[in-house]
Amino acid sequence: MELKEALLYEKLENQKVKCNLCSFHCLIENGKMGVCKTRINKNGVLYTLNYGRANGYSIEPIEKKPFFHFHPSSEVLSFGTPGCNFSCLNCQNYFMSQSTKEVENAYSQTRFTSPEEIVKAGREAEGFAYTYTEPTVFFEYSRDCILEEKRKTNKFHVWVSNGFYSEQLLSKIIKEDLLDAVRIDLKFTSEEKYAEVCKARFNPVIENIKKISKTSVHLELINLIIPGYNDSEQDLEKLVDLIHGIDKAIPLHFLRFYPYYKMSNIQPTSDETLKKAFKIGMEKLDYVYIGNASIKGSEDTLCPNCKTILIKRKGMIVVENNLTEPFCPKCGNKINIKL
């Protein structure tokens, strides 16, 4: 199959190119690839290598992503492609995300799936989730899937993402109205930890969170609490204060860490730490949740004003939904939710 020319790049002298997809802005020489290993420069033209190389297909509840404030109880077709611009030591999907850096011919091992086939595969779902690996690095493919689907049925589209976009990418997403919701993993609140664990940077992520919060794109955040890395009271308070300063109505999901990949020697996050994070969050934010755990009440949506239970969940399943419009049925308070 022919390679597809990439979007968002500049042609430079001596057949070099500058990729403007994410905040690394890789300068790529002829015959070389960027950090994510998903794009290659061939004679001064940048090509995407993972176009159509989708895998991990699954129709799942949107709560699994997790989105708790966007079309509760709806189902999405989830999929990703090989590759990622991060190199997280704790990656849960490293066999997909890091395969382009660790496995020879990673792309040829995945069957080509056209955007038309993706749309057909999701015909029973209410939306599409670009997930498992970072959708930024398969932007051309996800964009074509979105445009193809919108020509036919106009369902919703969400990204599960690290938020490390370039200004050019985010502008294109907003201008073309491509996404309905984004869930960003705000991993740490320091440049040092982002560099150590993810081989990335903190500032572009938080700046993109600020920008998205001012658009019509629905936004939710997660924070995986890793013992010894971001689980101190100071770490948790800094994170909560940071989100509060942007918009206290952004839903925040604290997740339990489990040992995995290159962090298999670290113990899981304790219930005590998760409860501490929940308490700190609820003091300043409207909506806080705990995931990967079974802590009573920590997955329910409450009215920030009167504390009425609006949506009751058990795990990722909605067992009771008292909302028919985005207002508390008891006190009338506006709720940050898209039904």
pLDDT at 108: 75
Q: Which of 212, 222, 282 is nearest to 92 (CA)?
A: 222
Which residues neighbour 27 within 8 Å (Cβ) at sequence distance 6 or greater? Answer: 12, 16, 17, 18
Considering the chain, what percentage of its residues have pLDDT values greater than 70? 99
Structure confidence by residue, pLDDT tens digits, 208-250 = 999 999 999 999 999 999 999 999 999 999 999 999 999 999 9
Q: Which of 183, 201, 182 is nearest to 192 (CA)?
A: 201
Distance CA 83, CA 33 (A): 12
pLDDT at 251: 98
CB 187 within 8 A of CB 223: yes
Question: Where does the pLDDT of residue 111 fall: very low under 50, low under 70, confident under 90, or very high at 90 and above?
Answer: confident
* CATH class of residue range 55-299: alpha beta
> Under DSSP, is residue 319 helix (H, G, I), strand (E, B) or coil?
strand
Within 10 angstroms of residue 307's Cβ, the number of other Cβ atoms is 11
Over residues 159-172, mean pLDDT: 98
Structure confidence by residue, pLDDT tens digits, 138-153 = 999 999 999 999 998 8
CB 151 within 8 A of CB 119: no
- Output the CA torsion 92→95→99→104 (10° steps): 160
Structure confidence by residue, pLDDT tens digits, 248-297 = 999 999 999 999 999 999 999 999 999 999 999 999 999 999 999 989 99
Strands of 39-42's sheet in order across: 4-5, 45-48, 39-42
Within 10 angstroms of residue 91's Cβ, the number of other Cβ atoms is 20
Question: Where does the pLDDT of residue 101 fall: very low under 50, low under 70, confident under 90, or very high at 90 and above?
Answer: confident
> Under DSSP, is residue 115 helix (H, G, I), strand (E, B) or coil?
helix
Cα→Cα distances 240→69, 234, 245, 298, 334, Å: 19, 10, 9, 16, 21
pLDDT at 1: 59
Which residues neighbour 61 within 8 Å (Cβ) at sequence distance 6 or greater? Answer: 73, 74, 75, 76, 316, 317
> Which two tokens mark 9?
């790049």
CB 129 within 8 A of CB 76: yes
Domain ranges of the chain: 4-48, 55-299, 300-339
Strands of 127-130's sheet in order across: 55-61, 75-80, 127-130, 156-161, 181-185, 218-225, 252-256, 288-291
CB 140 within 8 A of CB 51: yes
